[in-house]
Amino acid sequence: MHSTATGFRPRMAVLAVIFLLTFFSAFFIGRYQVSAGDLFDILSYRFLKLLSGIFDFNLKTPVTWTSQAESVIINVRLPRVTAAAVVGAALSVAGASYQGMFRNPMVSPDILGASTGAGFGAALAILLSFNYIFTTLSAFAFGLVAVTLAWAVSRVSKLNTTLSMVLAGIMVSSLFSAGTSFIKLVADTEEQLPAITYWLMGSLNSIKSKDALFVIVLVIIPLVPLMLLRWRINLLTISEDEARSLGINTGRLRLVVIICATLMTSASVSVSGMIGWVGLVIPHFCRLIFGYDYRRLIPAAALMGASFLILVDDLSRTISTSEVPLGVLTAFIGAPVFVYLILIGGADREH
């Protein structure tokens, strides 16, 4: 059977519908019961209110819901579900981009040390008893520092770009994870150590509207250039000589992709903690369904990653009385799925 170009539009539409269904159904999950009517009324009321603020018209909608319902939906579930969607999309798109850039489908978004750097930044902030916002900012900043360091080392290396970046990434990652271990060692075992450990396992438990906004902005901004350049990302997967003979300077494109993918990864990790596997498994599944072309791979990875992480977050809220960390769940789901992919021969099989 051949994958025909015409089959992709319906598949993308199905994926978009699945995303919308997962997104809105996630609002019903949790201890406080929400009715579909309330959800629709409250979300549309808030949306219109936002518009009325911008376009300056009077809003006359009767309030038929309790303030408690509004608070749960707007202050708790909306930030959480959006953050799950954005983080899932970001990790998947970053993973897909890094994979193309390293010409290796086994690469995950933390290849250049963004996650371990962010983990160190968060641990350091918790050790220094910074508040929640500064912990997020510190995680984000150290994620960027780690990747910059790896990139700088690879620039002066005499090895070829890809190999030197992978090696520099390993070096930086292990440096920062040693730093994290040291902080855990000296941290106060009553409060700081559990906080660090919990942070590192990944969770959207304590997400606030402000964090959701922070991650949305820092993911959407780099997503725009990646979407615009997505056909050109294909050119990073062929050899540098070939790309150059086709008339493109890959150095600049590579740098743009690194910056965008790193911003997305660091922003995600800084609000959600470390969530593995998503950036590795989702792009693989997308290739299985949409083929290798980044024109389709980037939007597909965004939609599938968002839906996947919303579902995983639903699980983390429901399977036990206390929340199960997201990183633990994605590993439990990701590892068997990956074994399955290995067994069927990955996305390389003819479809």
Partner 1 sequence: MSIEITDLSFSYEKHQVLHNIDFSAHDGDLVAVLGPNGVGKSTLFRCMLGFLKPQSGEIIINGHNIRDMDSRAVAREIAYIPQSVSPAFNYTVQDTVLMGLTNQLGTFRSPKKEHVERVLSILDSLGIAHLRHRGCARISGGERQLTLLARALIQNAKVLIMDEPTANLDYGNQYRVMERIGSLADKGYTIIFSTHDPNQALLHTSRALVLSDGHVLASGPSKDVLTEDVLSSLYGIDVSIHDLNYGDSRCMVCTPSAAAS
Provide the binding-site residues for partner 1, judged by CB under 8 A.
2-5, 100, 103-105, 228-232, 234-235, 237-239, 241-249, 291-293, 295, 347-348, 350
- Taking the complex as a whole, the smallest distance from the CB of residue 288 to partner 1 amounts, in Å, to 11
Instruction: Return the number of the residue (11 or 232) whose C-beta is nearest partner 1.
Output: 232
Instruction: Return the number of the residue (293 or 323) whose C-beta is nearest partner 1.
Output: 293
Instruction: Return the number of the residue (23 or 292) whose C-beta is nearest partner 1.
Output: 292
- Go through 93-128 and write b for each residue having 16 or more CB atoms within 10 A of its CB, e for each that does not: bbbbbbbbbbeebebbbbbbbbbbbbbbbbbbbbbe
Pairwise CA distance, residues 344 & 338, whole Å:
10
Pairwise CA distance, residues 130 & 126, whole Å:
6
Cβ contacts of 338 within 8 Å, gap of 6 or more: 277, 280, 281, 284
Instruction: Return the number of the residue (111 or 267) whose C-beta is nearest partner 1.
Output: 111
- Taking the complex as a whole, the smallest distance from the CB of residue 107 to partner 1 amounts, in Å, to 11
DSSP symbol at 27: G
Contact 127, 187 (CB under 8 A): yes
- SS3 at position 108: coil
The total of other beta-carbon atoms located within 10 Å of residue 135's CB is: 22
Instruction: Return the number of the residue (243 or 269) whose C-beta is nearest partner 1.
Output: 243
Instruction: Return the number of the residue (179 or 291) whose C-beta is nearest partner 1.
Output: 291
- Residue 128 has phi, psi (to 5 degrees) of -85, 10
Instruction: Return the number of the residue (184 or 244) whose C-beta is nearest partner 1.
Output: 244
- Taking the complex as a whole, the smallest distance from the CB of residue 290 to partner 1 amounts, in Å, to 12
Pairwise CA distance, residues 198 & 192, whole Å:
10
* In the chain, alpha helices (H): 8-25, 36-55, 67-71, 78-101, 114-127, 132-156, 161-186, 192-201, 209-228, 230-233, 240-245, 250-272, 278-290, 294-318, 326-344
- Taking the complex as a whole, the smallest distance from the CB of residue 2 to partner 1 amounts, in Å, to 4
Residue length, the chain?
351
DSSP symbol at 293: -
Contact 100, 234 (CB under 8 A): yes
Structure tokens at 6: 């015409």
- Taking the complex as a whole, the smallest distance from the CB of residue 280 to partner 1 amounts, in Å, to 15
Instruction: Return the number of the residue (258 or 271) whose C-beta is nearest partner 1.
Output: 258
State which amino acid sits at residue 200: L
- Taking the complex as a whole, the smallest distance from the CB of residue 239 to partner 1 amounts, in Å, to 7
- Taking the complex as a whole, the smallest distance from the CB of residue 108 to partner 1 amounts, in Å, to 16
Contact 123, 195 (CB under 8 A): no
Instruction: Return the number of the residue (46 or 232) whose C-beta is nearest partner 1.
Output: 232
